[in-house]
Chain A
Amino acid sequence: MYRRICFLRSEGLSEEAQLVQGTEFAEAAARARSLCPTGPAADSLLRELMAEEEERVAQAVAFAEVLVPMLARRLPLRPSAPHAGPPETRARPRVGPGEARGVADFIDDMLAQDRLASR
C-alpha cells in the first residue's frame, strides 16, 4: 500500500497519495500497531518499511528514466519520443505521413510530458 502511495507521489498525484495515506494506510498502520507488543518498536518497524518502499520506488523511477531513452534509441523503426531529453533541449520528432503513429503512442508522449512537468 505504501508503495502505491510512493508511486502516486512520483506521478505528481500528491493529493491522491495523501488521501490514501490518510485513510487506507492510516487504518492499516493502526491495525499493525495494535498487533505489536510495544508501540515504539512498531513505529520503528513502520518507518523502516516506509523508507524501504520509498527507496524501491525511487530506484524504479530512476531506472525507467535511463531505460526508456535507451530503448527509444535502440528501436530505430519507432520515432524517438519527446521524453528522450529535457523539455528545453527536446527535439520534436519528425513523422512523415507514411509512418503515422498510433493514438496510444501520442498518449505515451503526453504522459511523459506530464511526468517531466510535475518534477
Chain B
Amino acid sequence: MAPNSLTFPPMTTATLEKQPAAPAPSPAASALPPARPGQSKSNTLLIGLDLGTNKSCILAGPPGSTDITVSKVIPSVVGYVKDGIVDGIITGNARILYGEDALSQMLHVELVAPLAEGVISRPEAARDFMLHLRQLADPSGKAEIRAVVGVPANAGEPARVGIRHSAQGIFSRILLIPEPFLAALGFRDDARVRQSGYVDPVVNSLFIDIGGGTSDLCLVQGYFPTRDDQISIPFAGDAIDELLYNELGRTYPNNGLSRITVREIKEAHAYVGPSRKPMDIKVVIGGKSRTLELGDAIGSACNTLIDRIYPALTTLISSASSDSVVTLLQNIIVTGGGSQIRGIDTVLQKRLADDGYESPKVRLAGQDFQRYVAIGALKAARAARENQWQVLLE
C-alpha cells in the first residue's frame, strides 16, 4: 500500500541517510542569511518537520507541486567538538556535528539531545539543529522557508514558544500542528480518498504515535481533534530504554553497557505479550563477548508501555459517538518507532477484544512509520492559506 500520493525521489528510500556534505566548519548561525518573509513566492521552500526526541524527519519541496526535494531521517543529536581535538580528526575541522556524524564521533564530541519528552529542552542545541535542517533543505540559504512542525498532542504554550524561539531567523513562517493528526494526514492515501471502500484515516480513525519521548493518541474524525480527542503520555521509547537499562544493571551488575547499546538491543529485540524465553543476546563487555538472556527484561519493559497506553486508548474509544465507534474500532493505527515493537498490534487488539470491544482491528502504519508525521506536515504546508502561517519575527 502507498499511503500517500507524494512523490519520493529514488535516493530517499533508505530510512536513515548520512549527510552528503561535511558539516559547517563553524556555528551554523553565521552561515545563513536571515530569513526574509517578504521574498517572492517563487523562492519559497516548504518544509514538513517531525522534530522527534530521538529521530527527526525532514521533508522539503516547492509549493504548488507534490515533488519532494529532500527527505531525511536524522538522529536528533548535536555534537559539539571537544577542545584540543587534533586537526584532521573531524572532517573539515568542523566545530559542530549533527545526527549520524555526531554519533559516529562520540568520543570527540559532547553529545547534546535538543529535545526531551517531545519538547525542546536545550534551546541552543535545538537552534543549531534547526539550522542544520535548514541547510539540508536549502543548501543555498536563499529560499524563504516555511515550516510546518509537529508538536506532541496537548503540547502546552511553553513547548510551542520553545519551538518558535529556536526557529526565529531560520524559518520565515511556521505552523505548529499536533503530531498524531499529522500522522493521520501523512498516512492518508490522497489518490484513494474518493474511491469507494477506502477508509479515510482522517474521517474516522484512532492514531497511536509512539515516539522516543511521548506516546500520543488521537481520535481523528473528520474535524480537527479537540484537546479532549488527544492524549499525550510521557512514556515511550526512552522510558523503555531506561527500564531496560536499570533491569540489566540489576541482573548483570557492572555490565558496562551504555544507554546507546541498550537502545540498540531494544530496537533489535523489542516485543510485547507473553514472555519469549530464552532470548539470548550477544554483547561485548570489557572487550569480551558474552551472551545475556534478556527475554524477561525486554518483555517486562515493553509490556509497561502497553499498560500505560491502553487506558488512554479506551478513554478515547469511549468518547467516540455510538454511530462512529464500530468503524473506529476497525481503524486503530500504530505508528512511530514504537510500531516496530513486535506484537504491539496483536496485543492491543486482543486486549480490546478480551474487554468486549466489537471486532477491534489494530494495524501498523507500515514501513514509512518514521515519515508519516513529516509527510503530513508537508501536506499541511502545501495546503495552508497565507493567513494561517505565523510570521516569525527576527
Contacts and interface: CB of A to CB of B under 8 A. Distances in A.
Interface of A: 12-13, 15-16, 19-20, 79, 81-82, 87, 90, 92-97, 100-104, 106-111, 113, 117-118
Contacts of B43: none
Contacts of B385: 104, 107-108
A110 B177 contact: yes
A12 B157 contact: yes
Given A20-B393, A95-B203, A104 B226 contact: no
Interface residues of B, number: 29
B43 to A, nearest CB: 22
Contacts of A106: 181, 202, 223-224, 380
Contact of A93 (B223, B379, B380, B393): B223
11 contacts: A16-B164, A92-B221, A92-B223, A92-B226, A95-B203, A95-B222, A102-B383, A103-B384, A107-B384, A108-B388, A113-B226
A103 B185 contact: yes
Interface in B319-348: 321
Contact of A97 (B157, B203, B224, B380): B203
B238 interface: no
Given A12-B157, A15-B161, A103-B383, A97 B226 contact: no
Contact of A101 (B181, B222, B388): B222
Nearest to B383: A103
Given A95-B203, A103-B379, A107-B385, A16 B222 contact: no
Contact of B388 (A20, A87, A90, A104): A104
Question: Which of B165, B224, B383 is the most central at the interface, judged by chain A CB atoms within 10 Å of its CB?
Answer: B224
B193 interface: yes
Nearest to B228: A87
Nearest to B196: A97
Contacts of A103: 185, 379-380, 383-384
Contacts of B164: 16
A85 to B, nearest CB: 12
A109 B380 contact: no
A16 B180 CA distance: 27
Nearest to A105: B224
Given A107-B177, A107-B383, A107-B384, A100 B227 contact: no
A23 B1 CA distance: 52
